[in-house]
Structure 1
C-alpha cells in the first residue's frame, strides 16, 4: 500500500513540477514580470534587475527536481529541495491570497491562470504529498545506478532546461498563451460579445452629518433613491470610490488605449487600418536594444518607400523621453503611447514587432527573429 502511494506521489509531484517549470520557461520574461510584482510587495526591488535570470534558473530547478524525482536519483537531496520549495511557495501563496497583494501567482504562467486561493489550495495538496515523499525518501531507488551515467543525466536535464529558457527569452515563447497571439483580432478582443454582460460597478460615497456627527457609507443608487442629497446636513467626505458590484464578462484585451503626446485617442485608427502596418513595441525606451531599433527603423523606411506601409512605435515611456529617443535615433516611425501592461503582453521583447492588418495580428517577432525586408516583402507586402 505504501509503495503504491509513494509511486503515485512521485508521479504526481514529478510530472506537475516538470509541467509547471516548462510552462513558465516557455515565457521566462513573463515569469520575470511576475517575480517583480512579488519583489515590490516584499520591498525587494533591488532584485528587479535580475528577475528574468532568476526566472530562468527557477524554471530549470523545477524541471530538474521533477525529473530527478521520477528517476529516483539523489532521493534525499531532492526530497529536501522539494520540501523547502513547497513550504516557501505555500507561505507565499497564502500571503498573496490573505492580503490580496498579488492577484495571480503565475504558477502555470498565462496558460492556466489561478486565483491566489486556488494557488494556495494547490500548494497545500503538494505539501501533503511532498511531506509523505520526504518521510519515505529512503525507500526511493534510482532507475539508473551507474554514478557516471547519473551525473551525465543530471547535467543533460539541467542544461536542456536552461537552454530552453534562454531560447524562449531570446526568441519568444514557443506557444503563445497571451491574448495578442498570431491570428487574434484585437478590436474583437476588446468587445463584450452579444448576450454577455460586462462588469458592473457602483460609486460609493462617504457621508457625514454636520449636525449629529454621524457617518455613513452609501452607494450612488441609494443616494439618489433615498433623496439624502436634499438634506443639507449630509456632506460628502473625500472622493467617491468605484467598486465592483457584479462580476461580468471581462474582454481579453481591456486596458489598451493608444494616444499621442497630446492625449488624442488613436486606438481605433491604428487598429482598424485596412492595410498592412507595422507596430513596433518598445515599452521601455531606456532598456530597448538600440541595435534592434536601428535595424527596425531602416526596415520601416524601406517599407514606406516601396509599399507605403505605415510604421508606428508604441511605448510607455514619457513623451519627453520618447522625443529625445526619436531625435537621437532619427526614427522614421511615428511615436504613440500606451500603458506598459498591455505592451508587455503584446510581444515578449523590447523591442518587438507586430504586423497588423484590419486589427488582426498577421505575425509578430522578437527582434532576434525579425525577417529582413526582402522576406517580409515576398511573404506579406507584395501579396
Structure 2
C-alpha cells in the first residue's frame, strides 16, 4: 500500500519502539510508524509500516497475533518486502503469538489509541452458529473458506486444483508434479486396482477421484460439503470423460450412502471433524469397508499439545473456523480403537512447507487477478495465512501425517504383502 502515513493523534511513546519490543528485533526487520518513529537497520530487507493509529487500537482489543493480523488485513499495517521473510524474522510471535505478560504491557501503553480509535473487527471474520461440529455449523464453516470463488482457487492452486499437501519426488519438482505424485502415493498405499470402489471423503475439487478413475480404472465416489467444489469437480469429471467411473457429490461424510468399498481416502478432512467425533468418524468409515479394505488418513497435526496450546485465533477467525488439530498419536489411537489395524505412518511436513511456498508464488504471480476476484482484504488473508503456515511446517509447529489402516479379515489376516513397495509396509 502506498500513500502518506497518518499523523499521530494522541501523545504516547514512539510507536516503532513499542512494536519492536513486541515482535522482536532482527537485522532483517525494520519498523516505521505514522508518528515518524523507526526502529531497526535502514538496510533491512523487510520493513513493517504502521500506517494508522487504528492498528494500535486493534492491538489493544486483541493484543496478539489476531490483532496484528486484523491490522494487516485492513492495511493499517503493511509490509514492504517479502512477507514470509518478515514473519520468519518475528517467528516467535508468528507461531506462538505474544506472551501474556507482554500483552498486558502492550495494552497499557496503547490504551489511549484504543479509546480514540476502537472499531469492530473486519467483516471477513467467520462466526459460524449452532452446535459445534453439527452438520449445519460444519456446512457454514466449510462454506466460509471453500465457497469463496473457484476462479480464485485456480489462481492459487494451479491446474491440479488440489488444496492439500503435495509429495515432492525431488527438490526440483514442480507443484503439479508433486501433486500428481501425492495422488500416486495414496493410490499405492491403498493398493488400488481396476474395478475397485473408492470412497474419497472431503474430496475437494475431486483430484483423488479423477486420479483413481483415470490412472487405475477405479470406480470412485467423492463427497464434499462445499457446493462450489462439488460443481467444479463434477464438471471436470465430465470434461475429462470420466463420468462412467467417477462422481462427486455435495454431501456430508455422515450422509454417505451405505455400500461396501474397497478403499477409503480422507485427504484433509480430519482437521474439520473435531476430537470428540474422531471415534464415530473412523467407525463409520470402517463399516463401509470390505474385510481387507484399507483407509488412508492424511491430515495436519500438532507435534505436541501442552495445555496452553489452542488453534491460532487468526486461523480460527479468518481461515478454518472450528478447525481442530490433534497430535498424530490421537489420530492413530482413534483409528485403532475404531477397529483398524495400523500398517504405516509417515510425516510429510517438509513437503507441506514446499507446497505452501508454491501456492504463495502462484498467488503473487496472479495477485492483480486474485484481488479483482475476491477483494484486497481476502487476498491479504490468504497471503498472510500461507506465509505463516509455511513457516509453521518448516519449524515443526505443525505437521502433516498420513496414516494407513486396514480392516482385518475374520481370521485376522490383513492381505498385506510381507514388504510393500520400497519396504514401506
Report the TM-score, using the length of structure 2 for normalisation: 0.26
* Larger Rg computed on CA atoms: 1
TM-score by length of 1: 0.29
* Structure whose residues are more often helix by fraction: 1
